[in-house]
Structure 1
Amino acid sequence: MRHALLIGCSQYDDPEIGSLNFASEDAEIFSNLLKTYCGFENEDIEILSSPSEKSPSATRSNIIKKLSIPPNQKNLDLLIIYFSGHGIHSATDGKDYLLPQDAVYRSVEYTAISFDYLLHEVKKWSARCTILVIDACRNVFRNGKAIDTYQSSFNPSEIKLPGVAAFFSCAPSERSYELPNLKSGVFTHAFSEALGDTGKCKTIRELDQYLLHRVPSIGNEYGHPKQTPYTRVDPLSIADTVIVSDQRKLSIAASMKIGKEIRISGKRSESYDEILSDSVLAIDFGTSNSLAIYWNKSGELKYVIGSEGRKNHPSIISFYPNLDYVVGQDLTNEPGNNGKCIAVKNFKRLLTSNDTVNVHGYEISPTVLASLLIASIHKNFEEATGQTGGTVIASVPANFGIAATNKLANAFHMAGVPLTRMIGEPCVAALNIVQLKDFFPSIKKNDGYYAKNILIIDVGGGTTDVSLVEVSYLYPEGDYHFEVQAAYGDNYLGGMDYDEAILSLIERIGRAELANAGASQVQLKRNALMLEAERAKIALGRRSVAHVLLANIETTSGIDNIELEISQAQFLEISEDLNQRLKNCVNKAFSHFPNSPPDFILLAGQGCKILPIIKTIEKLAGNIPLIKDYQENAVITGLAIQAKILSGIGTNVLLLDAIYSGLCVACASTQSIPSESKSSQDLEATISTDVNENTETITLINTFAFIPIYASIRVRITGPLDTPIPLDIYEMSGNNSQQKIGHFLIPPRVVSNLLEIRCDIDANGVTLLKVEEIPDSSNYTEVRLLAKYIVNRYWTQASQSALNAGYKYLSI
């Protein structure tokens, strides 16, 4: 339930208070914003405006009456109070006031609305989230002179606002301006951009960040003095409150309006399954299928069941022409479809690119598609347990780069699912070792430390990851330690590629058979062929020959069915190129064992059941034992073990993860330079203020470094002192290839030519960059902060704390 009170006061009765041009129009603009983007209906909004023919006047008595809570408006989800008009700080009593239409300038304390009174009344509404938007402190004239010849504008930094998020149009000692060209105030115009398609803001935090840079920019464009918006949020936990509607939230990234999910009623339990109060939901978002799991109050591991009563949630979304959609089912083959439904599959792989999917003429990003699937799975969880919100952990391909991982994290955020941590798929799969009782068979009843190396090969529907993990066991404590040593992979190798290989083979053999039957012109339907290819792939894992049926083919002798045979030998032959790519990944991991092979190889992912893949792995493994106990459930059950630890019901497992991509900084030279500063640390590179001279890179964080980790480099800057410094950030993969992921300009130095670039990565992988100007050989001794950025968007508590501390997201 939502409610808004919007007050716009352009006209004042007292001639000593100058009139405004667009305050009343701004209230109407704000009303339209709430209805368009925030899910408000006409009945949710009350407007007081002066002058106005259709709304009550913005008088003191009307404002007081509207602030008094009606009986049917208690316990709101969201309350918004908007005021556009004059604001004054009284020199008489030191309080701050908003001026209604009938305020008397010489008796402000008795005729205006004090902030103390406003907050007192707001508290009575008991809204879960209250937002104040104050577009005040505008230019005011009294007998041709500014009003602050007698009284000053109010100071938002001194106003106490517990339980409220408040947006003020300008900082203390500044003014708020109007724009005749735009027929609006600067601040309200920026607010319109922020919620609209320019800013696409969804949360209080995003609004703050957009307004902070946009309001001064608009004022500068129109030649006004500096106007810097000011935001107060108390407590900070409400900063990530989503204020836009659900449909707006899901459609922002796609720049179009997604329809509603059509929920298919299925074989779900009619009663709630009680869960632990601190239970963590684990989600394995897969290319072909996705899984979700949690621990119930009885300590049992429970899968979240989909609409068809199965634990596997097919990663498929079918869209109707109006963009309403069904998750988990391919409706394209339904009777009478005739192209009405479009099914989107395998979109997880698209997260590694900038590609979109065309659906009924609209381009939808893979992030939006992933968010729809994740939101649906989370809804299934809520229906099964009766619990909303909660903590979520998720898996991510270890070979995903920062940009792809950010897109997946954004998908969880867009879905409104509170993501706590993301863990590499093969690394979390290793946790299944704790369930193998005979993994350390040589342990005697003596204190000891035992360690073994495991190679995890995870071939999913669309990606392949190979990870090296050292597993240690402490006896008699019974503690397991998992240390990730390295990870390699191929983001374009998975079960779907073997499907495509068989499909091509079926087409080639089928064409020859059709030609013999006099039906060479027949168009083979791809969807039907893909179904046959998937069946053949599975069948060839169990027997030497698979039969493929081309049904209802029109030949010279009539309608006929043509049956084809695909042999294991043919499957192995057409898969040679794919198998070689798998070998490359495994051999890179084997390079970490120059003297001895790994002790075990653990297989994960559905792909490890595919004939050419298992044959390739067995040949590479030789005498190394293969663990095949988990396969397609390895990742989700590993996540369940981690969820158990986070839920507080399991403490004997410690996963020491690593970062799979290193970070480099572009520089002009990487030669070590003796430091002239008081510090004994040598400089490691030079960076030029001319970006064209920065043609080399220097490593800031190495690939496969254990996290948490802290690292720093010191560099000398060449170029004019008053020139911004270009900083290019590169991501370095396991094969040492580099890709530029970010660029930003550091503010000019003050005195020193020396910088320190610091990087902190916490245990959840949240990566923070900080750049500081440090003392050089002169008498300058101050350490000056120049920039601080968050590299990845995991949306964890650590990310939120960093944002609260002034960090900004690096644009990737």
Structure 2
Amino acid sequence: MAAASSQGDGPAVGIDLGTTYSCVAIWRGDRGEVIPNDQGNRLTLSCVAFTCIERFVGDAAVNQAALNPANTIFEDIKLWPFKVVADQKDRPMIVVQYKDEEKKFSAEEISSMVLAKMRETAEAYLGTPVKHAVVTVPVYFNNSQRQATIDAGAITGLNVMRIINEPTAAAIAYGLEKMPVSNKGRTVLIFDLGGGTLDVSLLNIDSGIDIDMSIFEVKAVAGDTHLGGADFDNEMVKYSLREFLRKHERTDIRGNQKALRRLRTACERAKRMLSSTTQTTIEVDSLHDGIDFCTTITRSRFEELSKDLFSKCMKGVEKCLQDAKMDKSNVDDIVLVGGSTRIPKVQNMLQEFFDGKELRRSINPDEAVAYGAAIHAAILNGGNSDGRLVDMLLRDVTPLSLGIESSTGYVETIHGVMSVLIPRNTAIPTRKEKGFTTLYDNQSSVDIKVYEGESAWTKDNNLLGEFRLEGIQVAPRGVPKIKVIFDIDANGIMEVSAEDQTTGQMKKITVTINRGGLNKQEIEHMAQEMKRIAL
């Protein structure tokens, strides 16, 4: 996407809102800077905790997690110790005890607390208010998840200028800083294995040598929103629990959330150690009822425990290449992003798959996404006084197919057939339209149900939203002409409209597909609540 005009209202930052860690960066002068938090760390844990006294975000939240697991919100759904209930609109709400009261928070509110922390980190470093940001999301985030991220920014008073996919942001960082100089474009595969998600993206990058514009064209994406470093930690935890039960048969700690939290921390530490050594120990003093726990684990044992996860990683690469209709020999660079790419087995599998091709490790895997987002934010904000940043054309793609429920041209059906208007990996922004008609005689309205997914049957896909087009011409089935239009912007946010063309009069209903999203009043209410909680 070409650069937008300057916001004229302070700096714009790039935020990697990760499931495990978050990171904020800014481009100023002639270089990018990753901004450290108040603990001096360049990464901030995406964790929020509530106590009887105050709220913690980041490192401080994790430091008290073992003593307060029920009120500590973190990414791993498999080990959630906190309570989740549905609100009146059937949206999930997280229940915690805060200042001796029961409080319920939406996912957007929790995300807004992490975003607020990242903004505060940037403001403390820059000494000026920060109101604008480019925020990254996993490639397989659906429309409602992307809208929720924008809503989270609005709650904390942050204008989300653009939502971009994490590997696309990493590609921007690589294309500007580290890509080999060439007079032609290069085909780059970004392999992003973070704490909670796997994103694989294949791009053509032209770094702007022959033109005054860098072009980043995504050809295909693949991934898994439930595969990341936390899943490897889970395998270590399950192994450790088996070892503990083997040594202490009558002692079951699976219901002890405090013990599990401490064990998980030790397992994560051991996993990191195994990236640089072939053997280490998992050790926790007084894990349960005064019983110390200590066991040895080797790298080969860890790899055996995680073999199914490693297999899933490679399936993502294979699917991305298959969707792009590209042979692996045509990939110029394989770029590693995300802390979990430090696992030796991951690197070995990738290198073997690409017939020994050298992997690009020239960008910091933990910081590349935020760095790339900061570059894009600077361009959108007009902050290129030094001339180092050329304009940018960014063409991303839809990760999933999008369509409506129909059958052989009829806009409604009892069979639940998926009629695709926008196939997956279609470049965005995009606009597609398709003609339909009525299924029954004398219909005066039709229901438009919008889905995303790859199944031929809508029951196996994800319902994004629905609306009713009323006032259509009453006529025998098949006579009315109904045009359905899908319009997706650069953020990946979609609007769907339908119009009756039979009479020549425009009758159109437009709906923003953000099922479960927040309306303006809800956002304003949550923003006020966040200010009150921060006091």
Q: Does TM-score exceed 0.5, indicating one fold?
A: yes
Deviation, 1:760, is 2.2
The aligned residue for residue 502 of structure 1 is 236
Contact 1:548-1:565 within 8 A present in 2 as well: yes
Distance 1:282 1:534 in 2: 27
The aligned residue for residue 280 of structure 1 is 12
Distance 1:562 1:389 in 2: 47
Distance 1:621-1:330 versus aligned 2 partners, 3 A rule: farther
Alignment pair present for 1:773 and 2:506: no
Deviation, 1:452, is 2.1
Distance 2:416 2:70 in 1: 50
Alignment pair present for 1:654 and 2:383: no
> TM-score, length-normalised on structure 1?
0.55
Report the more deviating stretch, 744-753 or 285-294.
744-753
Report the more deviating stretch, 480-489 or 592-601.
592-601
Distance 2:424 2:265 in 1: 40
The aligned residue for residue 464 of structure 2 is 741
The aligned residue for residue 193 of structure 2 is 459
Distance 1:303 1:348 in 2: 29
Distance 1:639 1:365 in 2: 26
Alignment pair present for 1:626 and 2:349: no
Deviation, 1:285, is 0.4
The aligned residue for residue 308 of structure 1 is 39
The aligned residue for residue 87 of structure 2 is none
The aligned residue for residue 564 of structure 1 is 295
The aligned residue for residue 764 of structure 1 is 491
Q: Deviations over 1:671-714 (max 9, x none)?
A: xxxxxxxxxxxxxx1224xxx53522222122111122221111
Gaps of 5+ in 1: 1-274, 444-449, 671-684, 801-812
User: Residue 342 of structure 1 is aligned with which of 47, 71, 78?
Assistant: 71
Alignment pair present for 1:783 and 2:505: yes
Contact 1:661-1:733 within 8 A present in 2 as well: yes
The aligned residue for residue 607 of structure 1 is 340
SS of residue in 2 equivalent to 1:627: coil
SS of residue in 2 equivalent to 1:746: strand
The aligned residue for residue 258 of structure 1 is none
The aligned residue for residue 56 of structure 2 is 326
User: Residue 425 of structure 1 is aligned with which of 139, 153, 166?
Assistant: 166
SS of residue in 2 equivalent to 1:725: strand
Deviation, 1:282, is 1.1
The AA in structure 2 aligned to 1:546 is T
Q: Deviations over 1:619-663 (max 9, x none)?
A: 323223311122111211111221232232122432212222332
The AA in structure 2 aligned to 1:452 is R
Contact 1:495-1:610 within 8 A present in 2 as well: no
Deviation, 1:595, is 7.5
The aligned residue for residue 415 of structure 1 is 156
User: Residue 719 of structure 1 is aligned with which of 440, 444, 461?
Assistant: 440
SS of residue in 2 equivalent to 1:784: coil
Distance 1:500-1:756 versus aligned 2 partners, 3 A rule: same
SS of residue in 2 equivalent to 1:578: helix
The AA in structure 2 aligned to 1:759 is F
The aligned residue for residue 371 of structure 1 is 112
Distance 1:652-1:494 versus aligned 2 partners, 3 A rule: same
Distance 1:521 1:610 in 2: 33
- Give RMSD over aligned pairs: 3.3
Distance 1:718-1:601 versus aligned 2 partners, 3 A rule: same
> TM-score, length-normalised on structure 2?
0.81
Contact 1:665-1:730 within 8 A present in 2 as well: yes
Alignment pair present for 1:358 and 2:88: no
Distance 1:348-1:453 versus aligned 2 partners, 3 A rule: farther
The aligned residue for residue 644 of structure 1 is 378
The AA in structure 1 aligned to 2:204 is E
The aligned residue for residue 51 of structure 1 is none
The aligned residue for residue 24 of structure 2 is 292
Contact 1:406-1:793 within 8 A present in 2 as well: no
Distance 2:94 2:215 in 1: 42
Q: Deviations over 1:427-470 (max 9, x none)?
A: 121112334566145x4xxxxxx122111111111111111111
Contact 1:285-1:291 within 8 A present in 2 as well: yes
Report the more deviating stretch, 458-467 or 710-719.
710-719
Deviation, 1:773, is 1.1
Alignment pair present for 1:397 and 2:138: yes
Deviation, 1:618, is 2.9
SS of residue in 2 equivalent to 1:364: strand
Contact 1:279-1:295 within 8 A present in 2 as well: no
Deviation, 1:376, is 2.4
Distance 1:489 1:721 in 2: 45
Distance 1:597-1:753 versus aligned 2 partners, 3 A rule: same
SS of residue in 2 equivalent to 1:657: strand
Distance 1:438-1:431 versus aligned 2 partners, 3 A rule: closer
Contact 1:278-1:647 within 8 A present in 2 as well: no
| 1:203-222 superposed matches below 5 A | none
The AA in structure 1 aligned to 2:170 is A
Distance 1:554 1:697 in 2: 53
Contact 2:189-2:335 within 8 A present in 1 as well: yes
Distance 2:419 2:492 in 1: 21
The aligned residue for residue 37 of structure 1 is none
Gaps of 5+ in 2: 1-6, 85-89, 521-535
Distance 2:444 2:498 in 1: 16
Q: Deviations over 1:576-625 (max 9, x none)?
A: 11112112111112323248441221111111112443333233232233
Contact 1:486-1:704 within 8 A present in 2 as well: yes
Deviation, 1:531, is 1.4
SS of residue in 2 equivalent to 1:695: coil
The aligned residue for residue 331 of structure 2 is 598
SS of residue in 2 equivalent to 1:579: helix
Distance 1:354 1:624 in 2: 46
The AA in structure 1 aligned to 2:467 is F
Distance 1:719-1:495 versus aligned 2 partners, 3 A rule: same
Deviation, 1:575, is 0.2
Deviation, 1:390, is 2.8
The aligned residue for residue 486 of structure 1 is 220
The AA in structure 2 aligned to 1:698 is S
The aligned residue for residue 700 of structure 1 is 421
Contact 2:190-2:336 within 8 A present in 1 as well: yes
Distance 1:438 1:339 in 2: 45
SS of residue in 2 equivalent to 1:693: coil
Contact 1:462-1:494 within 8 A present in 2 as well: yes
| 1:103-122 superposed matches below 5 A | none
SS of residue in 1 equivalent to 2:149: helix
User: Residue 578 of structure 1 is aligned with which of 309, 316, 341?
Assistant: 309
Contact 1:599-1:625 within 8 A present in 2 as well: no
Over alpha carbons, which structure has the higher Rg? Answer: 1
Distance 1:459 1:718 in 2: 46
Distance 1:790-1:587 versus aligned 2 partners, 3 A rule: same
Contact 1:332-1:342 within 8 A present in 2 as well: no
Contact 2:223-2:316 within 8 A present in 1 as well: yes
Distance 1:340 1:472 in 2: 48
Contact 2:139-2:167 within 8 A present in 1 as well: yes
Contact 1:459-1:495 within 8 A present in 2 as well: yes
Distance 1:465 1:491 in 2: 8
Distance 1:338 1:428 in 2: 37
Distance 1:529-1:735 versus aligned 2 partners, 3 A rule: farther
Distance 1:609-1:382 versus aligned 2 partners, 3 A rule: same
Distance 2:196 2:434 in 1: 38
Q: Deviations over 1:537-583 (max 9, x none)?
A: 0000000101222314689xxx7755321101100000011112112
